[in-house]
Structure 1
Amino acid sequence: MARGRAANYDDQRAAILAHAARLFARQGYAATSMNQVADASALSKAALYHYFRDKYALLTHIAEAHVRRLLEVTLEVETLCGEPRRFLEALIERFVREYASAQDAHRVLTEDVRFLEPVDRDRILGIEREVVAHFARAIAATRPELEPASLDKPLAMLLFGMINWLFTWFKPGQPLDYPTLAPLVADLFLNGVSGLHITPVIRPEGEQTHVT
């Protein structure tokens, strides 16, 4: 008779992933062993393999769950906020707050995605690109002239450059914490977008483009 799952199976899996993400974030994926994950999870190594077949499975689950959560947040905010500027503002604030509670997973995504097999990396980065596309469309909706100038996606990437690396330098505390920082990031970016000056540039081959 097949062995059934324990009542707390899903909770235990989530706990293991959290411990693994913390270890990967602190010492790197390559330097972390399944023994260390088992110890951090207060499990035997045999018990750990009941939940995940190997360390690579932990990596893929952590990275994919993180980007899927970001997409989920994006779609949720999009549903709640119809007006473009308010949508973008709320989206930036939610992402900053989300990163506050997912710093380990985010560090794993940004630093350890290189260890993924091509098929897994392409799938996970495809979800990430979908998130970026939502940001780009929201930026273009606030300044429609940005899209024909092909600036919507570069600006989305610049925005992610602002918020993706918060975990490397920001140490929350009084008086500045993540809930306080979130609207500051949104205000800084949105005021910058509102005042962005677009000037035409003629490429040598005669093709016109735009730069700020």
Structure 2
Amino acid sequence: MGRGRAANYEGQREMILARAAELFARGGYPGTSMNQVAEACGLSKATLYHYYQDKYELLVNIADDHVSRLQGIVRETLAEPLPPEAQMRELVARLVEEYANAQHAHRVLTEDVKFLDTADRERVLDKEREVVRGFAQVVGELRPDLLQAAMTKPLTMLLFGMINWLFTWMKPRGRLDYEAMAPLVADLFLGGLGAVEAPAQLPRQRRA
């Protein structure tokens, strides 16, 4: 009989993906070696190959796992019996939460998807397109006139720009955390600057 998988096999795979995503995000996919991944994981290179056959498989799994989670968020939220504005706020809140917990994977998805083979890249991009369509659908429900003017996708991409840029300028120990920022993004997108309401209570500023 062949040797079975260890009880923590899936946990080890997730840990490896997280470390690899961090390395890819910081040094780029081409500039990162399997030796570096193994060292970051505290594993021998031989052990690393027990979980992933090569660096490319790491890239595929990081990108596909992350975009699949985004796809799942959109599908679940659109299935909820909510009015369009509530759906949009839920989508924004859940996307910000996901990005906050997967910043490295998201950077890999946006920066390194070009290194995927055609079939893998198209599969990942198809899932990204579904995410965009889901947001654009809600924009169209909020403003049917924009749907007729083919403006829902451009506005969706502007919204994604706001969400994506959060993670380039926000300080993890600043006065506003990601949970507080999500409704501000939704307010700004749905109603403009005049609709933005300051949080009732800001998180305490943490000391370094």
Aligned to 1:133: 133
> Does 2:171 correspond to 1:171?
yes
Larger mean Cα displacement after TM superposition, 164-173 or 128-137 = 164-173
Please give the alpha-carbon distance, in whole angstroms, between the structure 1 residues aligned to 2:192 and 2:147. Answer: 16
Please give the alpha-carbon distance, in whole angstroms, between the structure 1 residues aligned to 2:68 and 2:81. Answer: 20
Q: CA deviation at 1:173?
A: 2.4
Question: Which structure's CA Rg is the greater one?
Answer: 1
State the percentage of identical aligned residues. Answer: 59
Aligned to 1:180: 180
In structure 1, list runs of 5 or more residues that go unmatched: 196-212
Q: Normalization by structure 1: what TM-score? A: 0.88
Q: Normalization by structure 2: what TM-score? A: 0.89
Q: How does 1:191-206 map to 2 (within 5 A)?
A: 191-192=191-192
Q: Give deviations 1:54-83, integer Å, cap 9, x for gaps.
A: 000000000000000001111222233521
Change (3 A) 1:81 1:172: farther
Off by >4 Å, runs of 4+ in structure 1: none
| AA in 1 matched with 2:184 | L
Please give the alpha-carbon distance, in whole angstroms, between the structure 1 residues aligned to 2:119 and 2:79. Answer: 31
Q: Give deviations 1:62-115, integer Å, cap 9, x for gaps.
A: 000000000111122223352111101111111111111010000000111111
Aligned to 1:101: 101
Matched positions, count? 195
Q: Give deviations 1:23-75, integer Å, cap 9, x for gaps.
A: 11111111110011111111110110111010000000000000000011112
Please give the alpha-carbon distance, in whole angstroms, between the structure 2 residues aligned to 1:125 and 1:163. Answer: 19
Aligned to 1:34: 34
| AA in 1 matched with 2:50 | H
- RMSD across aligned positions (CA): 1.7
Aligned to 1:74: 74
CA contact (8 A) 1:62 1:108 kept: yes
Please give the alpha-carbon distance, in whole angstroms, between the structure 2 residues aligned to 1:152 and 1:191. Answer: 16
Q: Give deviations 1:135-179, integer Å, cap 9, x for gaps.
A: 000000001111110001111111111112322222232311111
